[in-house]
Amino acid sequence: MTTIDFIGYCAAFLTSASFLPQALLVIRTRQTEGLSLLMYTLFTLGVALWLIYGLATRDAPIVIANGLTLTFAIIILLITAQERLKQRRVSTKS
Amino acid sequence: MTTIDFIGYCAAFLTSASFLPQALLVIRTRQTEGLSLLMYTLFTLGVALWLIYGLATRDAPIVIANGLTLTFAIIILLITAQERLKQRRVSTKS
């Protein structure tokens, strides 16, 4: 493995793994006010396309990295959407 | 351009552009309680490595996509770190 390959693998590991603490934080606290729902909608869609791209080009690192990221992104997106719906219901009632 | 290339470009555009609404949200509201500081530390580092990787392999789409994402990620990271420091000072005083 060249130094450049190694940098690429480190980059893929860091950008994928970084979403784990965010996913754990929203699962634990369900505090999503600061999270952009638009960001996680676009991001989840983008990562899903990366996964399709990786499968189509048979690129294992892209498939593994984006498969992991997609799992975390979907968790964050679903909890954020759920909390926004709850808030909307509460503000409609009051 | 093949369909697979097109999917790759759409993926790169979506995952990069998605951080713009999140950056604008934290600039406007400075509401960062729900954001994971660990996530943005690891993510910013990862995107910086992707940028180095793109420059080393002279891959323009990787350089452009990660250059943009790095800008947004740094903004989100700095504001989140700043707000955490403020909160720590307030809780030490009280």
Determine what percent of chain A is predicted with pLDDT higher than 90.
81
Q: Are A67 and A16 in contact (CB under 8 A)?
A: no
What's the pLDDT at A60?
85
Q: Are A20 and B46 in contact (CB under 8 A)?
A: no
* Residue B20 binned pLDDT confidence (cut-offs 50, 70, 90): very high
Q: Are A23 and A72 in contact (CB under 8 A)?
A: yes
CATH of domain B3-93: 1.20.1280.290
Question: Is the ipTM reported for this complex over the cut 0.85?
Answer: yes
What's the pLDDT at A92?
83
Chain A residue numbers touching B10 (CB-CB < 8 A): 46, 49
Contacts of B12 (CB under 8 A, 6+ apart): A46, B61, B62, B65
User: Structure tokens of A33?
Assistant: 């006010």
Work out the average pLDDT over A66-94: 93
What whole-number distance in Å separates Cα of residue A14 and Cα of residue B38? 11
Chain B interface mutation, best of A1, A6, A42, highest count of B Cβ atoms under 10 Å: A42
Of the listed ranges A39-43, B5-9, B39-43, the least confidently predicted one is B5-9
A8·B53 Cβ contact <8 A = yes
What's the pLDDT at B72?
97
Chain B interface mutation, best of A1, A5, A6, A18, highest count of B Cβ atoms under 10 Å: A18
Work out the average pLDDT over A34-43: 97
H runs (alpha helix) in B18-59: 19-29, 37-56
Which pLDDT tens digit goes with each residue over B29-84?
Answer: 999 999 999 999 999 999 999 999 999 999 888 899 999 999 999 999 999 999 99
Chain A residue numbers touching B25 (CB-CB < 8 A): 34, 36, 39
The pTM is what? 0.90
Domain ranges of chain B: 3-93
Could you give phi then psi for residue B66, rounded to 5 degrees?
Answer: -80, -25
User: Structure tokens of B31?
Assistant: 């509401």
A33·B33 Cβ contact <8 A = yes
